[in-house]
Structure 1
Amino acid sequence: MKNIKKKRYGQMLISGLILFIGILSQSCDDNPDKYVITDGIPEVYYIRVPNPESADSLLVAAYMNNTIALIGENLTSIKEMWFNDKKAILNSSFITYNTLLVNVPNEIPSVVTNKIYMITKDNDTITYDFSVLVPAPIVSSISCEYAHDGNIATLYGDYFIDDPNVPLTISMPGNIPVTEITSIEKTKIVFKIPNDSQKGYINVKSIYGTGRSKFQFRDDRGIILDWDTKDASGGWRAGKIGNSNPEGISGNYVYFSGALKGDLSTWDEDNFSFNLWGIANGRPEGDLFDIPVDQAQLKFEVNVTQPWSACALQMIFTPWATSNTNSYIADEKTPRGLWRPWESSGSYQTDGWITVSFPLKDFKYDHTGKALQVAGTGNYGGLTFFVYHGGIAGTDCTPYICIDNIRVVPIE
């Protein structure tokens, strides 16, 4: 009886597997839009934006790196696509018989024909009239927002195009032209800060339009500490103040120096920290800024004159009423930003003063780098900087880190 039951069970199991495989095969084949390259030539009816809600928005041109949708027939016959002389990347997951989604190449064409070239399976070439638009310059940042007149500075961004017939130009705030440009690349420009430069936005103009900087040059908005008019007095440590060797970028600055162990064991508040406690410093009750946290960034100028290769700069905001304690530094619950600029290369040193920025939405770690939640409004009335721990071991070092013009400004 047991053998008969086993035999019947085995037959039922085999029958079930055959049925499952049959259903699976049918479901796999039941996909009429599955990509298979086809013979013949494609026909493009029109091009539109991919969003179905804007399907009536037809396109005759698109900016570089934008996604477009080709609508037509036999689009599965396309094996290559070129915009002018730049090849696009095709993904078969986004190609059906009637629809093809593709990103316009993010390279400026060398030869402009204002056409799309579609290469078929049989190496036939089909053209379609379509223009690639190059954006106006994007001016994201500058090497040092507080650079002095006569200093060499670098603008970073994209689409810095110096056309021989329409040369690229830079205008400093107040429409002061830059007359000495050292070099121009697509993503950076090296130039000399002209005399009488002022505070405000920088404009870069190319053949494709004018782009305004996403920052203000010599930005004095939202200054929290500058050690000229605003300091960290009232805290246990107000920080060591200097203004020479190296020369300050705008008057006094705070500096951190001493020996750091690479094994994360160093705790040296006297030489590597300051505490701005809002209530003890006489700041108005409340947060140090009124910008929504997810729209704000912390910025400052920094000059690292001796190699830094261990520990993180811990940037810790605290409530206005916090004072006479350092327990928040390593309590494993107070979020902060961590800066380890040496991490990727093993050591970090600057060539003079530079500007760095940190979105406050990234202030979400404890002292070891463990993830926490970003602090809400009401927790930004004080600020502590401390070079300590950071969760990643480095190498022994004796850095000299100078910091000035700590500020919170909007992300633009």
Structure 2
Amino acid sequence: MKKFTINSINRISFLLLLFVAGALFSCEEEDPTAPAEAKAAPVIEAVRSMDPTKADSTFKQSTLGSIIVIKGRNLEDTRFITFNGYNASFNTAYASENYVIVRIPELTPTVATATNVSNKLVVSNSKGEAVYDFTVLPPAPIIEAMSNEAAKAGDVLTLYGKYFYFVKDVTFPGGVKATNVTASADGTTLTVTVPAGVTPAQGSVIVTSESGKSAANARTQLYSTLGLISNFDNKSFFGWGIPGENIVTSAPGINGLDGKFGTVQMAVPGNGGWANARVMHFADYGAGSQILPTTPAANYNANDPIANFEVRMEVAAANTNLNGIQVQVMIPAADGKEYDAKVDLKNFVRSTDGKWYTVAVPLANLANGSTKYSKYSDALASKQIRVAAFNTNAADVPVTLGFDNIRIINTTK
């Protein structure tokens, strides 16, 4: 029998220590979070919702931010998931042989942000990848403004906003569906023909797309006479300014919306120069009553912030260069000091062919120097309002403009 000496035992112990140390070093070099070697490439069979009530339904599209369940095979060792080439983070704890849960990243490219998207969902592991046809939808539509809130049945109305993609229908107040719906390629405008049977006071215009429905707001409501100060017909507190013959049913290149309207037809003085013929002043001098709206009280509370309100009107332009031309709203204070606000007409009136557009002037901008109104009561104290064409150019500019439906709207209602 072979005998082991102390020295030989020490040498064996040393070799064992080296082996153990080497093994430990190798373990430390490995990434403990790395997925195990996959047994086979992944396979995607379907995509379904995390909603238990929809667990049996599958789909091939979903919106940004949605959490989805990918169903298939060999998914437990998933290393990467991409939507339209954009990498999605996911928790490997939620990956099993047949399922993996993932949230579609908010920054995933869609038709709203990229001219070309692959519409592909890709799941990969160490053995390969699975590619699945899947459309990531942009957010639900957003309506920021309508071209003409006084549009009637048969008129073409343009909606301005974002995410007008994959539009299914447009619903008008009263539940009536629009016809001839056409969205721009960039999803920022949508044209529709106003259907018959619309009841403006009963709600908002709503756009429904594959991504969902647009939200109702103060800019999605058709004109319903709410807050009306003057329509130049059956309600008009016109006092002075434009000549009486400038309250007409038609003007060169402009046809009325519904009955009469006021016009500014002149060379508007440059540098904001004054001319009565560019101004429409509204006041009830005879009775001295309040012409600014006060009812319904929920919409016109005197203590509400002035920032809640804006003056709206429909404006048309014919054969007019609108560069530097503004709409000016003036509501003098009780002490007679002028408070005014202005907006550039070309930001609202998008053509000069006589078509009518809705213009909005925020009352939050009413100012006299650096002093501004704070509450609606500040405006009510005036009991008068002026609407005028204003020319910021140095030279006089000839204009033909129509104004109708002067009103104040509470934008928070």
Q: Counterparts of 1:44-63 in structure 2 under 5 Å?
A: none
Whether the 8 Å contact between 2:238 and 2:280 is mirrored in structure 1 is no
- Residue in 2 aligned with 1:13? none
SS of structure 1 residue aligned to 2:214: strand
**Judging changes above 3 Å, is the alpha-carbon distance between structure 1 residues 153 and 398 closer, same or farther for their aligned structure 2 residues?**
same
- Amino acid of the structure 2 residue aligned with 1:356: V
Determine the C-alpha separation between the residues in 1 that align with 2:266 and 2:347: 19
Q: Counterparts of 1:48-197 in structure 2 under 5 Å?
A: 64=64, 84-85=83-84, 104-105=107-108, 107-108=110-111, 110-112=117-119, 134-162=138-166, 168-185=168-185, 186-197=187-198
Whether the 8 Å contact between 1:237 and 1:273 is mirrored in structure 2 is yes
**Judging changes above 3 Å, is the alpha-carbon distance between structure 1 residues 360 and 84 closer, same or farther for their aligned structure 2 residues?**
farther
Cα-to-partner distance string for 1:263-284 (whole Å, 9 max, x where unaligned): x163211x11122235556433
Find out whether 1:284 has 2:290 as its counterpart. yes
**Judging changes above 3 Å, is the alpha-carbon distance between structure 1 residues 294 and 132 closer, same or farther for their aligned structure 2 residues?**
farther
1:315 to 329, 334, 352: 329
- Residue in 2 aligned with 1:376? 375
- Amino acid of the structure 2 residue aligned with 1:374: Y
1:272 to 248, 269, 278: 278
**Judging changes above 3 Å, is the alpha-carbon distance between structure 1 residues 238 and 399 closer, same or farther for their aligned structure 2 residues?**
closer
- Residue in 2 aligned with 1:243? 249
1:209 to 194, 209, 212: 212
- Residue in 2 aligned with 1:198? 199
Determine the C-alpha separation between the residues in 2 that align with 1:141 and 1:229: 27
TM-score scaled by length of structure 2: 0.59
Determine the C-alpha separation between the residues in 1 that align with 2:32 and 2:136: 23
- Amino acid of the structure 1 residue aligned with 2:331: F
1:300 to 295, 313, 327: 313
Find out whether 1:232 has 2:237 as its counterpart. yes
SS of structure 2 residue aligned to 1:302: strand
- Residue in 2 aligned with 1:50? none
Cα-to-partner distance string for 1:29-59 (whole Å, 9 max, x where unaligned): xxxxxxxxxxx9999xxxxxxxxxxxxxxx9
SS of structure 2 residue aligned to 1:294: helix
Whether the 8 Å contact between 1:309 and 1:394 is mirrored in structure 2 is no
**Judging changes above 3 Å, is the alpha-carbon distance between structure 1 residues 249 and 42 closer, same or farther for their aligned structure 2 residues?**
farther
Whether the 8 Å contact between 2:172 and 2:178 is mirrored in structure 1 is yes
- Amino acid of the structure 2 residue aligned with 1:273: V
Q: Counterparts of 1:17-32 in structure 2 under 5 Å?
A: none
1:218 to 219, 223, 238: 223
TM-score scaled by length of structure 1: 0.60
Whether the 8 Å contact between 2:150 and 2:223 is mirrored in structure 1 is yes
- Residue in 2 aligned with 1:31? none
Cα-to-partner distance string for 1:193-237 (whole Å, 9 max, x where unaligned): 223333142222111222244321233211111111221344576
**Judging changes above 3 Å, is the alpha-carbon distance between structure 1 residues 65 and 156 closer, same or farther for their aligned structure 2 residues?**
farther
> Radius of gyration: which is bigger?
2
Point out where structure 1 has 5 or more consecutive residues left out of the alignment: 1-39, 44-58, 67-80, 89-101, 118-124, 126-130
- The structural deviation recorded for 1:311 is 5.1
- The structural deviation recorded for 1:156 is 1.6
- Amino acid of the structure 1 residue aligned with 2:273: T
- The structural deviation recorded for 1:105 is 4.9
Deviates more, 1:401-410 or 1:288-297: 288-297
Determine the C-alpha separation between the residues in 2 that align with 1:343 and 1:184: 19
Whether the 8 Å contact between 1:296 and 1:411 is mirrored in structure 2 is yes
2:387 to 385, 388, 394: 385
Point out where structure 2 has 5 or more consecutive residues left out of the alignment: 1-30, 35-49, 52-61, 67-79, 88-104, 130-134
**Judging changes above 3 Å, is the alpha-carbon distance between structure 1 residues 183 and 288 closer, same or farther for their aligned structure 2 residues?**
same
- Amino acid of the structure 1 residue aligned with 2:329: M
**Judging changes above 3 Å, is the alpha-carbon distance between structure 1 residues 189 and 82 closer, same or farther for their aligned structure 2 residues?**
farther
Whether the 8 Å contact between 1:314 and 1:339 is mirrored in structure 2 is yes
Cα-to-partner distance string for 1:269-320 (whole Å, 9 max, x where unaligned): 1x1112223555643387657153222222111001131445533201235x
- The structural deviation recorded for 1:183 is 4.3
Find out whether 1:410 has 2:413 as its counterpart. no
Determine the C-alpha separation between the residues in 2 that align with 1:42 and 1:298: 61
- Residue in 1 aligned with 2:265? 257
Whether the 8 Å contact between 2:327 and 2:387 is mirrored in structure 1 is yes
SS of structure 2 residue aligned to 1:150: coil
- The structural deviation recorded for 1:63 is 6.7
Determine the C-alpha separation between the residues in 2 that align with 1:317 and 1:106: 48
- The structural deviation recorded for 1:380 is 1.8
Determine the C-alpha separation between the residues in 2 that align with 1:343 and 1:180: 25
**Judging changes above 3 Å, is the alpha-carbon distance between structure 1 residues 133 and 261 closer, same or farther for their aligned structure 2 residues?**
same
- Amino acid of the structure 1 residue aligned with 2:154: G
Whether the 8 Å contact between 1:114 and 1:132 is mirrored in structure 2 is no
**Judging changes above 3 Å, is the alpha-carbon distance between structure 1 residues 135 and 404 closer, same or farther for their aligned structure 2 residues?**
same
Normalized per residue, the structure richer in strand is: 2
**Judging changes above 3 Å, is the alpha-carbon distance between structure 1 residues 258 and 106 closer, same or farther for their aligned structure 2 residues?**
farther
Whether the 8 Å contact between 1:301 and 1:356 is mirrored in structure 2 is yes
Determine the C-alpha separation between the residues in 1 that align with 2:291 and 2:146: 34
Alignment RMSD: 4.5
